[in-house]
Amino acid sequence: MSEPTGLTPYELIGGEKALLSLVDRFYFFMDTLPEAEGIRTMHQPDLSGARNKLFKFLSGWLGGPDLFIQEYGHPRLRARHFPFAIGESERDQWMLCMKKALSELPMDARLRTELSEALQQLATHMINVQGER
């Protein structure tokens, strides 16, 4: 996802401050949208730990400091999410919150689309159950 300018997506969205804003808005939407109730109930009542981990993961994933790896080791996202039943509905709820958060962050439209598509692929990779539950 590197841009022709040589800047990383982390730098292009505005670095740490912008990423903190993105993560805060993501969890705001998860916490308040009725459509996200399914994924909200998978989380602890206090979202600060999840918020911190998502910020650290996205920092490195976007080309910024590898904070998650420094603290927790390799992300092993699928393994870390395996204890949770994640289907298409949960993926879609997660993406709803993320797309809303991305829409509030000032950035180039092409970059927003590329980030959304990459996050969609990542979220789809987390699916570990098929069909209706």
Contact between 90 and 30 (Cβ < 8 Å): no
Residues in CB range of 3: below 8 A, 6 or more apart: 9, 12, 111
Q: Using one digit for the tens of pLDDT, what is the confidence trace for 111-132?
A: 999 999 999 999 999 999 986 5
Domain holding 66, by residue range, is 9-125
Domain count, the chain: 1
User: Is residue 95 helix, strand or coil?
Assistant: helix
CATH of the domain at 35: 1.10.490.10
- Percent pLDDT > 70 in the chain is 94
| 132: in domain | no
> What's the pTM?
0.90
